[in-house]
Homo-oligomer: A and B are copies of this chain.
Amino acid sequence: MKNSRINGVLAPVVTPFRADYSPDAERFVRHCQWLLAQGCAGLAVFGTNSEANSMSVEEKADLLDALVAAGVPAAKLMPGTGACALSDSIALTRKAVALGCGGVLMLPPFYYKGVSDEGLYRNFAEVIERVGDARLQLYLYHIPPVSAVPITLGLIERLLKAYPQAVAGAKDSSGDWSNTQAMIEAFGPSGFDVFPGSEVFLLQGLRAGGKGCITATGNVNPAAIDNVYRNWRAKDADALQAGITATRKIVQSVPMIPALKATIAHYADDAEWQRLRPPLVELTAAEKKTLIDGLEADGFKMPGIESVACPVH
């Protein structure tokens, strides 16, 4: 599997919701198509930025079906399939593998805090064994600021040793470069693909042996981020990196997930995109103004984004 793995820029795709909070498959498919057209190497649907844990397994399975039915290549999909419930993680991972997804990005069970590496090992091992499919490419999702349950280097080592074919890599959203570097140094040589969880670390990651990035702002600025990925050995790579880092800073000056949706809503002229499922809420008018003014001053564009707008059903 290693030669066909997803490398490059992945967007953790935001999920549009209708007025009744049901997932809006039509807008979702259109956004995924736009992201691939803009250069995303893959789609990390059902990530933190996707409000994935605010949806049921069935709602996520239905969205995966909708993507594949619309012709989105399953090989480019890396859905988040890790849940608190072992049975939910197994069910959604099975579904993803059966559809031919290029990988799955798996959170640890995150309700209990301070759990042991032994318990986390058993969780991931049980999912791998129960799915029991040689096509499974599992990426571990380390995001301690949100999950509060870290994926330690010791846990990765143990999982890689037991399941060298299935354990494919990690997304490191710790925001701690020294941890990302340690992951790459320890496991990169064994074919473990590390993706920083922000484009701020894209160039640094590629130079260290990382394989791209999986980043929130990939939802709105994919072409520029992909441009850094494609030109990381170029003379102006640092200047290109500075550009995407500056855009990131504008977006994250307000709460990230509603900011991504507000940006799409604004540039696609489709207010439906602003909605979030509880417990998240949309930006205030003042936050939205800060965001859009900042982006406009930066010369920000989203070419072709009008394709993600739909009539209200």
Asked if A118 is an interface residue, CB under 8 A from chain B, the answer is yes
Docked CA distance A59–B91 (Å): 13
For the complex, count residues of A whose C-beta is within 8 A of B. 39
B56 & A85 in contact (Cβ 8 Å cutoff): yes
A100-144 at interface with B (beta carbon < 8 Å): 108-113, 115-116, 118-120, 122-123, 126
A148 within 8 A of B: yes
The answer to whether the Cβ of A246 comes within 8 Å of any Cβ in the partner chain is no
Looking at the complex, which one of B112, B119, B278, B281 makes contact with A86 (CB distance below 8 Å)?
A: B278
Provide the residues of chain B in CB contact with A111, threshold 8 Å: 48, 53-54, 110, 146-147
Annotate A60-89 by CB proximity to B: 1 below 8 A, 0 otherwise: 000000000000000000000000111110
* Chain B residue at minimum C-beta to C-beta distance from A109: B279
CA distance A88 to B56 in the complex (A): 6
Task: State which of B53, B88, B113 has its C-beta within 8 Å of the C-beta of A146.
Answer: B113
Task: Check if A55 sits within 8 Å of B87, measured CB to CB.
Answer: yes
Closest Cβ of chain B to A72, distance in Å, is 23
Task: Give chain B residues whose Cβ lies under 8 Å from the Cβ of A126.
Answer: 21, 278
Contact A115-B280, Cβ < 8 Å, known A21-B86, A21-B126, A148-B148: yes
Nearest 9 pairs of A and B residues by beta carbon: A119-B279, A123-B278, A122-B278, A53-B111, A53-B84, A115-B279, A56-B87, A119-B281, A109-B279
Task: Give 10 pairs: A residue, B residue, CB < 8 Å, sorted on A.
Answer: A21-B126, A53-B109, A54-B84, A54-B86, A56-B87, A58-B87, A86-B278, A118-B281, A119-B281, A122-B279
Q: A111-B146, A115-B280 are known; give 19 further A-B pairs, CB within 8 A.
A: A21-B86, A48-B111, A53-B84, A53-B112, A54-B111, A56-B88, A56-B91, A86-B277, A86-B278, A108-B279, A111-B147, A112-B146, A113-B146, A119-B278, A120-B278, A120-B279, A122-B279, A126-B278, A148-B148
